[in-house]
Structure 1
Amino acid sequence: MLYTLRWIATGMVWLFLGCASSVPDTASTASSSLEGVAPASPPPTIPALQEWIPASSAGYALSSKSRIVLHVDDAADLAETATVFASDLADLTTISADVLPGTSASVLPSDIFLELDPSDAQLGNEGYSLQVGPSIRIRAHTSTGAFYATRTLLQWLRQTRNLGAGSARDWPRYPERGFMVDVGRKYFSMDWLRTHIKELAYLKMNYFHLHLSETQGFRIESATHPEAVSAEHYTKSEIRELIDLGKKYHVLIVPEIDMPGHMGAILASHPELQLKNALGIRDTDFIDLSLDGAYALMKDLITEYLPLFPAPFWHLGADEYVSLYALYPQLQAYARSHYGPNATGRDTYYGFINWANDIVRAAGKTTRIWNDGIQSPGSDTIRPNPNIVIEYWFNLGLTPQQHLDAGHTILNASYTPTYYVLGIRHPNDADTYESWPPPRFQGGHTVAADEPRQRGAKAHVWCDFANAETEQQIEQGIVPLLRSMAQHTWGSPKIVTSYCDFKGIIEATGRAP
């Protein structure tokens, strides 16, 4: 494969000519004779570095003598990050590096030194600086930033044991870089979920959304409503295990119990709470928001799981409920008895969202919902509380900018290109990598690139046809999507512009150890 190097703005980047199946394997050519000669660029990473400045001094060589040294003042805060790094490094290279406290004066050649340093304000809570010489020095404001520096090192060391000298500064553009899995329709094994926590961390992604309930399944153990739980489900102990693993890998686990639609699995044992239309026909997916028993059931479930998940968010779902409210006169009657004589059936839906939001807020968390049910203001009496985060997935109702104007924070969860739907659609990987920016939403709507209330973006696996693909096929199928999402949400300059060339970087950086 032909390649050249070219200096662009903040550093050196790889420019690949032609559609490559791999990038140069520097591990096969690096040797001790290269020490003291700095390559123009470090090996590629996903996401790319924000900044890299090469140096002409001696470089770094990983060896069996390498140690992970923690600044003595920061050793307690960095211990878990260092332990995880040492374990992953051993998996990747078979080198077992000791972890020990020390000072910069105690660092030897081939060591990796970690310390906390708040002096570089631009790095924020997730950024880091990384100096490569005979030893490697990592500085970050927080253990999260130091952890992400270790992910960069793992990707480099997968490709070569010898690194040219230089310095990097790196930080994310968006605070949420996410992935959602529809475990409600399709049960995914714990091994699959554990693998993808590590995979997200390897890509510096930090948000794992579990869509736990659907018409086809309710996938989490319940003490309040065991009758709703599917045969294939996760115990609370297993969920705690995932949360603990996520904490070690700096990945937040966020639950979704979808209400008031998509409740078929829950309502199968409660047909009396299913919504009936004016002809008396039940909709087995919708709960009847005019019934007191509906609120009792939903409150049981929300309050049971709020303490289980330490994440600061609770995803309520709230998507794809009633579209023609005139078919359900009881919803209008309920609204007028609670919100005034001019209230509409949709006010009952908005009132439910605010009712659930009050429960979530009382637990110190923030509610998130999908966007499609929130329509333009018309004859409605109330509106969803602006402290609710809107995840914009489809071009229905308000635009992303209108949600911002109403006071909401938003996230880009657009059907195109972030949805990988079993049996229906896969994203166009080339378009996703080459053409899609996170400020562009479904329907072509855009928000300002520097909008501070856009949290970021999220990739999704939806299992509408659960048996269309196996876990292994899905795992392979989403490799490009996750890596494009990582690159876009980190927001650094791309190493290569074409997806054809990006595939070479995907191959070189590989999967999480």
Structure 2
Amino acid sequence: MGRFWTRKTVLLAVGVVAALTIVLVVTLDLGGGTDDGPAGSGGSPTSSTPSHTPRPAGPDEAGPAPSTIPAVQKWRPEIGKGWKPDRDRSRVVADSQGPAVDEARLLARELGLKASSGPARDGDVELVVDPEASGMRESYQLASRAGRVTITAPDDAGVFYGTRTLLQSVRAQGRVSEGLVRDRPDRPQRGFMLDIARKHFSADWIADRIREMGDLKLNQLQLHLSDDQAFRVQSTRHPEVVSDPHLTKKQVRDLIRLASSRHITVVPEIDSPGHLGAVLKAHPDLQLRDTAGRATPGAIDIANPKAARLVDSLLDEYADLFPGPYWHLGGDEYQALTRSNPGASYPGLAQAARQRHGAGATVQDLATAWLNDRAKTVRAHDKTPQVWNDGMHRGGVVKPQRDRQVTYWTGTEYGARQPEEYLREGWKVVNLNDKYLYYVLGEPNQFTYPTGEAIYREWTPAVLRGSKAVPKSLSGPDRVLGGRFAVWCDLKDAQTPEQVARGIRLPLMATAQKLWDPGTPKRDWADFRALADKVE
């Protein structure tokens, strides 16, 4: 982030001698630069709080910035004692018919205060949605002045994030200092991905993660619903594919409702044409087999029209259950493409490719066309498709359709390429770098559990593969849209759900910090860890 604030002049009255008022002019250097520097413009933010535990300000002092995760982008301190909740006097005020009423009720519950329709008075927190307010949808301004806090934003999402800043600051410092916060995220997609296919997680466990995500200003939860091991959501069209235990549709709706209250979009994923083993157990006639008759693990026969009808039926069924704007189609690790000569190993696929796409088409083209067709299915429900990067192949007769986003996780799988190649081709990319953001249970295949410290010190949205960032010209928020911290359950019994929750706590916090502000944090890692204990 850029450096945001110009030098401020503060007049401090220091005494009266022989009826003469002596005024001491004190200049505070708060970092230089301007108040409207763009997020992600380079350099280190001046807004993060110091690395020591800040003390409350006195009535004639400027207090510390709010202590929050992620840290606020811009902070201008002012003279005064700030605001702290008074259970006998303070209220959370919002228009009872306005868009911020739910945020007001939630914050009031969390602080032990009353919610009110106003008008606001001294001691209150007032939430205001002002469509004319400057800034992006998720931006907000928090003003703490004269014993009152006002949070203003162009959308209720921004208001919600302002309440998270206030709540964490009260938890960590007991108050909000006198001053002005102007805050906004650097990246529009900030998320957590959970593999509920290989390992069942209860609805209550997922709900707890949603609450954590909301406090960290994360806004996407990707749920990997199905894989070779299990299919974990109730289906009325195809109950034969569903595994036990699983989430009922009612439980999913309740989770989506909770996520919506925290301004989190739930992104469902039904991976295909690979990772469909659970579905294929119920539909063995659609299992892909090689020339020797051996089943190819997890792979559906994409030459068989029944395969497309089955998967599209599932996509159509869940489109209304998941009302968000994104749908993840998978596309990774289709094992037919890993053979040295896919056409020879799977002559049926090769023949279908030539019949449908011309004499020069190959099995790769058939796989690309499969994802294009599934993308068309979800676009009919007004969803933006997302796919894993190794499902986006170089060359070929059939090209990936443009209206999709690429979730980049690997540069080593078949079909995977360097991240710069996708970016130079104009694709919008979401970062799921498997070195930093993959928490794979049991640590198979040379994976190791990522640490929050490594993410905090080394990773940014521009670090898409390994530890090297892509060029700045390719890594802006319009190109790399954000990232997600992912839990994969390859060895599902390696950890209990409680152990997973503890293991991902600090990595998820560090990810939230670097997605909100990719700049070098002001706090050192030890201080960040200490703050984590205070803000929860």
Q: Mark yes or no: TM-score above 0.5.
A: yes
1:421 and 2:447 correspond: no
Residue matched to 2:398: 382
Q: Please tell me whether the aligned partners of residues 207 and 253 of structure 1 are also in contact (alpha carbons under 8 angstroms).
A: yes
Distance 1:402 1:39 in 2: 49
Equivalent of 1:279 in 272, 292, 298: 292
* Within-5 A mapping of 1:349-428: 349-377=367-395, 380-396=396-412, 397-424=416-443, 425-428=448-451
Distance 2:69 2:151 in 1: 18
Equivalent of 2:499 in 465, 468, 473: 473
* Within-5 A mapping of 1:248-287: 248-287=261-300
Equivalent of 1:69 in 80, 93, 100: 93
Q: Please tell me whether the aligned partners of residues 48 and 493 of structure 1 are also in contact (alpha carbons under 8 angstroms).
A: no
Identity level (%): 35
**1:170-219 alpha-carbon deviations (Å, 9 max, x no partner):** 00000000000000000001111000111101000000000010111100
SS in 2 for 1:394: coil
Distance 1:112 1:49 in 2: 18
1:459 and 2:477 correspond: no
Residue matched to 1:78: 100
Distance 2:519 2:419 in 1: 25
What is the Cα deviation at residue 291 of structure 1? 0.8
1:486 and 2:504 correspond: no
Distance 2:47 2:305 in 1: 63
Instruction: Specify the code of the residue in structure 2 equivalent to 1:337.
Output: Q
Superposition CA RMSD, Å: 2.0
- Would the alpha carbon gap of residues 408 and 12 (structure 1) be closer, same or farther in structure 2, given more than 3 Å must change? closer
What is the Cα deviation at residue 490 of structure 1? 0.5
User: Could you state the TM-score of these two structures normalised by the residue count of structure 1?
Assistant: 0.89
1:292 and 2:305 correspond: yes
What is the Cα deviation at residue 61 of structure 1? 2.5
Q: Please tell me whether the aligned partners of residues 46 and 486 of structure 1 are also in contact (alpha carbons under 8 angstroms).
A: yes
Distance 1:498 1:383 in 2: 46
Between 142-151 and 437-446, report the one with greater CA deviation: 437-446
* Within-5 A mapping of 1:309-324: 309-321=322-334, 322=336, 323-324=338-339
What is the Cα deviation at residue 492 of structure 1? 6.3
Distance 2:318 2:175 in 1: 48
Q: Please tell me whether the aligned partners of residues 318 and 369 of structure 1 are also in contact (alpha carbons under 8 angstroms).
A: yes
Distance 2:117 2:520 in 1: 36
Equivalent of 1:430 in 449, 453, 464: 453
Distance 1:58 1:107 in 2: 19
Instruction: Specify the code of the residue in structure 2 equivalent to 1:507.
Output: D
Residue matched to 1:113: 126
1:131 and 2:143 correspond: yes
Distance 1:506 1:227 in 2: 44
Instruction: Specify the code of the residue in structure 2 equivalent to 1:208.
Output: L
Instruction: Specify the code of the residue in structure 2 equivalent to 1:69.
Output: V
Question: Which structure would you say has the larger RCO, counting Cα contacts within 8 Å and 6 or more residues apart?
Answer: 1
Residue matched to 1:92: none
SS in 2 for 1:61: coil
Q: Please tell me whether the aligned partners of residues 12 and 41 of structure 1 are also in contact (alpha carbons under 8 angstroms).
A: no
**1:23-51 alpha-carbon deviations (Å, 9 max, x no partner):** 6385xxx5xxx552444413421000000
Q: Please tell me whether the aligned partners of residues 306 and 363 of structure 1 are also in contact (alpha carbons under 8 angstroms).
A: yes
Between 282-291 and 112-121, report the one with greater CA deviation: 112-121
Q: Please tell me whether the aligned partners of residues 6 and 14 of structure 1 are also in contact (alpha carbons under 8 angstroms).
A: no
Distance 1:80 1:13 in 2: 29
Q: Please tell me whether the aligned partners of residues 48 and 523 of structure 2 are also in contact (alpha carbons under 8 angstroms).
A: no
Instruction: Specify the code of the residue in structure 2 equivalent to 1:405.
Output: R
5+ residue gaps in structure 1?
Answer: 17-22, 90-94
Count of equivalent residues: 480
1:333 and 2:351 correspond: yes
Instruction: Specify the code of the residue in structure 2 equivalent to 1:77.
Output: P
- Would the alpha carbon gap of residues 278 and 147 (structure 1) be closer, same or farther in structure 2, given more than 3 Å must change? same
- Would the alpha carbon gap of residues 152 and 171 (structure 1) be closer, same or farther in structure 2, given more than 3 Å must change? same
Q: Please tell me whether the aligned partners of residues 335 and 348 of structure 1 are also in contact (alpha carbons under 8 angstroms).
A: yes
- Would the alpha carbon gap of residues 458 and 319 (structure 1) be closer, same or farther in structure 2, given more than 3 Å must change? same
